[in-house]
Amino acid sequence: MNKTRVYQIAEEVGMSNKDILAKVKELGIEVENEKSELEEEDIELLLDLIKEESGNSNVITVEGSLTVQNLSDALGKSVNEVIMKLMKMGTMASINQEVSFEIASLVASDYGFELSEGNDKDDEEELEAIDALIEIEEDSEEDLVKRPPVVTVMGHVDHGKTSLLDAIRQTNVTSSEAGGITQHIGASEVMVNGEKVVFLDTPGHEAFTSMRARGAQVTDMAILVVAADDGIMPQTIEAINHAKAANVPLIIAINKIDKPGANPDRVKQELADQGLLVEDWGGDVISVPVSALKREGIDTLLEMVLLVAEMEELKANPNKRAVGTVIEAELDKGRGPVATILVQGGTLKVGDPIVAGVASGKIRAMINSKGKRVKTAGPSTAVEILGLSEVPQGGDQVVAVPNDKVARIISEKRQQMAREEMLKSNQRMSLDDFFSQMGDADVKDLNIVIKADVQGSVQAVKQSLEKLSNDEVAVRVIHGGVGAITESDIMLATASNAIIIGFNVRPVPSAEMLAKKEGVDVRTYTIIYKAIEDVQAAMTGMLDPEYRDEDTGKAEIREVYKISGVGTVSGCYVTSGKIFRNGKVRIVRDGIIIHEGEIQALKRFKDDVKEVNNGYECGMSFVNYNDIKVGDIVESYITKEVERKLK
């Protein structure tokens, strides 16, 4: 009996191996892969099924990702025709751009086709199978050895965190930080009594909440810096909450004890109000008075770090494939994607294939906290790595994988799934926005494109600006990315009427020229406060104007004349202020406003006048109103536009 392989049948009927395998399995025939052989009777059943389904010839499946090119190929139409069809539907897309399944289905139905979603389950199963290859290995007790502690330094802005680290490292970083504020996470290693300690320096401003939260996820303990002359501040409370959420021990460093207004006891009382009772007040939280400036108390603080580390019994297995976390990442002009990572288990080596979120690559070089190249990095080691395909997100897990192929496949699959998720998300979001604006037509959007030097700063600026949204003006960050401001950023801003904010980056010359040509507002900053202030100013300018009535004067009606062809004219006496001819009036009778309107004519004797002052008589008539009586009061007022402020 003749047998035929699956891939041969696929070639004969003009279908993919994947689709043929799916149909074989649908028939209940057991096969392993495209090289499996089928009996004659099974082939007949398969061909009958294909013939039956081909009767419904208007069902199409797009091979590969749902790009405009692939969609046009499946429909048998030109790319330009499909792009025009999409434009009529309000969707702008280029030849290689992906569109959502919903939009593609509408295009297909316009041509009389039904679009099939294909079998995403196979992709998910394939990814799960590959992910199984990089599962983190379980450690047995005998494999674990003592590892150095990882310490996060947290606290309010200007309370001296960087100065404290400066004192610990005996280096000078503070002077180089813009505005004296740390702008993104750094990692450094110091030796304390012959033992290594890794310090993470997380920014103190509340805009960097997400980065600080990431710092707490990889840390073994946190040093909370509180200024003795300033006490607990909002960012201090945030830092306390992050440490509690991460369930890490806290050491309180009461800094600036050398300052005249220093009051450590007040700090301890405020800490107690936050549920942190220090040891000398009968609690279990370690506190150490320090002066980063005069380097006082630093040794005691470091001894406390080693004591807590010993109590925590920190251990890891260095003899397995490395696993760690991305602390920070950036796109370096000369070196490409660069990531600072903390190795948490195993040992990372130069040449290791790795996966970090959607990024992958082979490690070309590793640089330690002192700027020296190293070949290996064990547990609790912070290194900068080169060789990634793209910039990963801060907080992404880093895993060493068996080989380059596995790394590449995982990266590609994750990127594909991320793109599909983003497309679905964008589609949902645009519909939500549409219905939201239907319900509240007065809301205005301030669209912003953010570019920064590192990924953490993009997230921080985005989070900070979006918090400015209110009931009248919504801040929408339509794109955030790492690297210089490019022409594509300008084009995006032009299409969406957005402003571009650059944080520690500048536009490339061609982008600068295009921005001038297109009239795109590009602003660059090194301090986040300035960006917030400027965006607040822009939002204030978008607020609808507010008008306020301002009284200018009052007059009493003492005579009423009815003149044919003119109407009713009142003889008045101005009792206060001024009456203006171009102003508005309220007519009040017995304390009740009976009419609001405008003055038709204002006269002194027989002359038309623009205004009449207090203590003078005048004649007045009103637009479309004649029901006036002696004793009525005329209140004159003007309407002024008042500058609005954000609430």
* 204 known member of a binding site: yes
- C-alpha distances (whole Å) from 269 to each of 106, 223, 225, 339 are 65, 18, 15, 41
* 607 known member of a binding site: no
For the chain, the C-alpha Rg in angstroms (whole number) is 36
* 159 known member of a binding site: yes
* 162 known member of a binding site: yes
* 288 known member of a binding site: no
* 361 known member of a binding site: no
* 577 known member of a binding site: no
* 209 known member of a binding site: no
Q: What is the dihedral of CA 579, 585, 591, 592, to 10 degrees?
A: 170
Q: Do the Cβ atoms of 194 and 243 come closer than 8 Å?
A: no
CA torsion sign for 550, 554, 560, 564 is negative
**By three-state DSSP, how is residue 306 classified?**
helix
> Which amino acid is present at 194?
G
Which tokens is 381 given? 């080691």
* 479 known member of a binding site: no
Which tokens is 478 given? 């339509």
Give the angle subtended at the CA of 354 by the CAs of 350 and 357, to the nearest 5°: 140
Per-residue DSSP letter, 138: P
> b/e for 90-104, b at 16 or more Cβ within 10 A?
ebebeeeebbbbebb
* 300 known member of a binding site: no
* 552 known member of a binding site: no
* 255 known member of a binding site: yes
Query: Which of 288, 263, 290 has its CA nearest to residue 278?
Result: 288
* 606 known member of a binding site: no
* 4 known member of a binding site: no
Which uninterrupted H or E stretch holds 210? helix 209-217
Distance CA 503, CA 452 (A): 5
Query: Which of 143, 134, 149 has its CA nearest to residue 316?
Result: 143
Give the angle subtended at the CA of 503 by the CAs of 498 and 507, to the nearest 5°: 65
Which uninterrupted H or E stretch holds 80? helix 79-88
* 583 known member of a binding site: no
Query: Which of 264, 205, 203 has its CA nearest to residue 231?
Result: 264
Q: Classify residue 592 by burial, with Cβ atoms within 10 Å: 0-12, 13-18, 19+.
A: exposed
Helices assigned H by DSSP within 92-196 = 101-110, 120-133, 161-169
Which tokens is 599 given? 């003055």
* 24 known member of a binding site: no
Residues making up the annotated binding site for GTP are 155-162, 201-205, 255-258
* Annotated binding-site residue numbers: 155-162, 201-205, 255-258
